[in-house]
Amino acid sequence: MAKKSQIARQKKRRRMYEKYKDERRRL
């Protein structure tokens, strides 16, 4: 279970990172 939670957390972080990258590209 802990592993699953860790993976989900990584996915969330990755999504936020992608969003951040997109905004930087716009600027």
Q: For 1-27, how does the pLDDT look when each residue is reduced to its tens digit (9 = 90+)?
A: 678 899 899 999 999 999 999 988 877
Q: How distant is the alpha carbon of residue 13 from its chain centre? A: 3
Q: Which two tokens stand for residue 26?
A: 């716009």
User: What gap in Å lies between CA 20 and CA 27, rounded to an integer?
Assistant: 11
Place of tokens 């716009």: 26
Q: Give the containing element (helix H, strand E) for 1.
A: none
pTM of the shown model: 0.45
